[in-house]
Structure 1
Amino acid sequence: MSFLLRATLVIAALSYCAANRDAPDPGLQPPVSVASLPSLWEALPPEIRERALREGTAQAGRHLASALALPASRDTLADADRKPAWRGVEGH
């Protein structure tokens, strides 16, 4: 029964997507064109531009430092665990 329900839902979803394939979605359009971004940047007060650059650079530096940092060791073995006692016949 669950197979039939899942198959019906998949077929319905694919049919819906096929029916709306050619309709443009106004929600997917960018709210600001790329050409207007420099003019928006220049419209900001100098203090805000400087602060945005400073904080953005600091955040990028933190992200880069964390990406380059070596991961902490997840090794849980003690030194005694790495040197097991000898098992076998002595004297050979």
Structure 2
Amino acid sequence: MSFLLRAALVIGTLSYLAAQRGMPGVSTPPSPAAIQAALPSVAGALPAAVDAVSAVAPATRERMAREGLAELGRHLGGSASRDTLAEADRRPAWRGAEAR
């Protein structure tokens, strides 16, 4: 569970920084010192998030994880086939070895 929280934290930070880069009022990306200065406040929220997750009933956590993974699977693998083969292309003209 902590891996998921850390991954969400990293992805959220990178998304925020990417959004800041594209803003017209921001001419330069934040310096590494500015990022390091912001990390303690973000890291301070992590124990509270872990406590909030721990407060949820185990059955509810399991259901939420199952539904989240199912939705992710539908999102990633649910696209329609883009196959361009015709039915005749799927059936070769001969099968097996030639008759002697």
- Identify whether the pair has TM-score above 0.5, normalized to the shorter chain: no
| TM-score, with length taken from structure 1 | 0.37
TM-score, with normalisation over the residues of structure 2?
0.34
Q: Between Structure 1 and Structure 2, which shows a larger proportion of helix residues?
A: 2
